[in-house]
Amino acid sequence: MKSISVLLATIAFVLLSMTSCYYDVEEELYPTSSCDTTNVLFSDHVTAVLDAKCLTCHKATNAGSIGGGINLEGYENLKVYVDNGKFLSSITHDGNASFMPKSANNTKLPACDILKITAWVNAGALNN
């Protein structure tokens, strides 16, 4: 009886130890069929991404302390980094600027957000 208990405990231990930690990638779990990059507006699309992913560190009140001196709050401030190419370089992780947003594993923004911001920049980065 004791050997059966030991065997069952061993099997349970092996089965439980075979599981592992992993990180789910939202885009793989919930793929989107398309990403509409037509009529991307600063006031709707770009500010939503900035608010959700950038302004925690890069707003006026935090830029000097945790934002590396970079203030992306408001169109005029963002446009400086759009015009010099640093904004797109940061979010696409092309190696020409510091990767953003900062994370333990340098995870990029969702692909659709990057495509929308790129479309907005390529359309002239208008304040609309």
What local confidence, expressed as pLDDT, does residue 32 receive?
A: 57
Is 59 among the domain residues? Answer: yes
Is 61 among the domain residues? Answer: yes
How many domains in the chain?
1
What local confidence, expressed as pLDDT, does residue 47 receive?
A: 97
Is 64 among the domain residues? Answer: yes
Q: Name the residue among 35, 49, 39 with its Cα closest to residue 123.
A: 39
Is 95 among the domain residues? Answer: yes
Is 25 among the domain residues? Answer: no
- Whether residue 22 is predicted with pLDDT greater than 60 in this model: the reply is no
- pTM, to two decimals: 0.71
Q: Name the residue among 43, 19, 67 with its Cα closest to residue 127.
A: 43
99 is in which domain, residue-wise? 37-122
- Whether residue 26 is predicted with pLDDT greater than 80 in this model: the reply is no
- Whether residue 21 is predicted with pLDDT greater than 80 in this model: the reply is no
What local confidence, expressed as pLDDT, does residue 50 receive?
A: 96
Average pLDDT, the chain: 87
Is 67 among the domain residues? Answer: yes
